[in-house]
Structure 1
């Protein structure tokens, strides 16, 4: 069948439109699907799929880091208390051993004097020839004089007997001193080993905490500091919401005021575990030295402060009282009034003021009896 003029014209228009469309810029068409199992040697290889973009490392859980650091530093504080306790025992035992050495020297001098007196008595007895009293009476020209001399001899014999008894007691004292010194020496050596073990614990905990902190980027450290401040604010706010501040009306005594003045004067000095001033402190080193400056000696460690000092209700505390923190009594601060304490927090920090409720309170003790 022939194609008419009208049909030719329509076909031409269709071709022109198709060519125009193909030439239009920005027009996209899907590539034809390849025939399964067939490739064309003249066709370019299909583009490789794009490499997956590198994903950023997951953000560090800084709250978990904060809690881990808190745990490490608390463990270090507990070990510091162990170290300080062993150090205090060793110091006292060294002083006791030195006192025993003085007693031993004095006892030896006394024993030497007694031996000299005993020797003199023995020589005097030898000079009399050791004759029996009956013979002496018969040979005596004056029996009355002999009897008088006999009374003196009896007195001398009693004195000699007393001298020998004193000599034996002096010898026994020396033996007791020597045994006591040996026992205390063994305890001293044991305490030195305890101190070395505690030192190792502290150093390991502190090194682990410092390593963890050193791995943080600057921004992470700043954010971590913010989290620590936020946690402290929340804890203090919760403590204050209990209404406790309104119940605290106790006033400092003269000694309490002096202790507070000493403690607050140390603000800015570095925390160093085992230190008790004057240039650095740990928590109990600060409180014990503050009360020593006020004329009141108290135990060296926070745990012994908790065990030995009189306890008072939180509602009754006054400036100068000590607040003991955590279940193991591993931290202590001094209450200064207005809901605040001064304390030496941990390694890497300095003596500072903080809210009294920023840490879990175990109880309050009063150095003044």
Structure 2
């Protein structure tokens, strides 16, 4: 029995060893395959996601551009104010020096006459006020001399006040220039991220992305044509209503056997004609800028950002618009999209970071974004925030 059990134990162990060896070899093979396989790539964003991300980055760059424009406007204004204050300080300092020389002459005369050496000290003191409180010497001066001292005190106070104001202005200028630098860096960062995203696309992906863009433009154009038809129908209805009203008035005049009178003036016709004339100048200028490149922070004459173009265009009609979209949207009267007229400003996005000039038929002239030129485009290319009539 003992000799019979040993072989069975040996076979069991042998079988077990073979199983272990096989499993080990399988594991080694799997590990080798895993080691030779290419590392798994993270999920690549779809083209639609890339398009949205690029659009978002351009919009954020537009917002940063408006911050830059605002900071630059404040910086320029602060610099002008500081320059004026420094000029005033110099002028007032010269007047103080003139007054000081006059007091010196009075003090010299007092000294020659032997009236009072204390008076001479008083007249030449840098702080006559304190000395008056201590010595009460004003009573020793003639009326003309007292006036000279009072003028000197007043001029000295004014000069010191202006120096303090100039110091504060310099601090504000430094703060504005800091904001300017930060905004500039933010714009450059957003544009850099957008360029990096686009640079990673293959040629095939770029073509597919361009096709998505064409579809987007086609949809925006369709909406613009729809608005154009609607506005044309409304204008035609207004013309018919006006013609019918004129016919009724003419019939009433004939029935009363009266001479035809001039039609009553429309209370809004003068302002409408005036606005149309201004808008014509605005649009003519904007059309002449078509093809010029978008450059953030630029306001002509060779390149523009969106609000730089609208500012310069409306300047042709004698209307001074602020520099940023955030301030331009506050100038004038807000109207509905359906009632938009040529010359109106169309603002976009919830943060009002873009603007264009409405030219009719659902279209606008605008400076779109980096890498694009001033062009005509549907107002529905971007989400509309509001429409404003500047004058």
Q: TM-score, normalised by structure 2?
A: 0.67
User: In structure 1, what is the Cα distance between the partners aligned to 2:223 and 2:100?
Assistant: 76
SS in 1 for 2:380: coil
The alignment status of 1:267 with 2:290, answered yes or no, reads yes
Q: Which residue of 1 aligns with 2:262?
A: none
RMSD across aligned C-alpha pairs, in angstroms?
Answer: 2.8
- The Cα of 1:59 is off from its aligned counterpart by 9.4
Correspondent of 1:347 among 362, 370, 390: 370
User: In structure 1, what is the Cα distance between the partners aligned to 2:346 and 2:283?
Assistant: 13
Correspondent of 2:320 among 291, 297, 318: 297
The gaps in structure 1 that reach 5 residues or longer are 1-57, 132-153
Correspondent of 2:146 among 161, 167, 170: 161
Question: Does the CA contact (< 8 Å) of 2:220 and 2:379 recur in 1?
Answer: no
Larger Rg, first or second structure (1 or 2): 1
User: In structure 2, what is the Cα distance between the partners aligned to 1:86 and 1:359?
Assistant: 26
The alignment status of 1:312 with 2:330, answered yes or no, reads no
- The Cα of 1:61 is off from its aligned counterpart by 2.6
Question: Does the CA contact (< 8 Å) of 1:233 and 1:358 recur in 2?
Answer: no
Aligned residues: 289
- The Cα of 1:241 is off from its aligned counterpart by 4.5
The within-5 A match list for 1:138-149 is none
Q: TM-score, normalised by structure 1?
A: 0.71
Higher helix proportion, which one? Answer: 2
Question: Does the CA contact (< 8 Å) of 1:232 and 1:359 recur in 2?
Answer: no
Deviations 1:207-231 (A, max 9, x none): 1111111222333323322322322
Q: Which residue of 2 aligns with 1:94?
A: 79
Deviations 1:144-200 (A, max 9, x none): xxxxxxxxxx9x822322222221121111111111111111111111111111111
Correspondent of 2:155 among 165, 170, 189: 170
Deviations 1:106-148 (A, max 9, x none): 11121122122222233334444429xxxxxxxxxxxxxxxxx
Change (3 A) 1:338 1:235: closer
The gaps in structure 2 that reach 5 residues or longer are 1-42, 117-138, 239-271
User: In structure 2, what is the Cα distance between the partners aligned to 1:226 and 1:356?
Assistant: 20
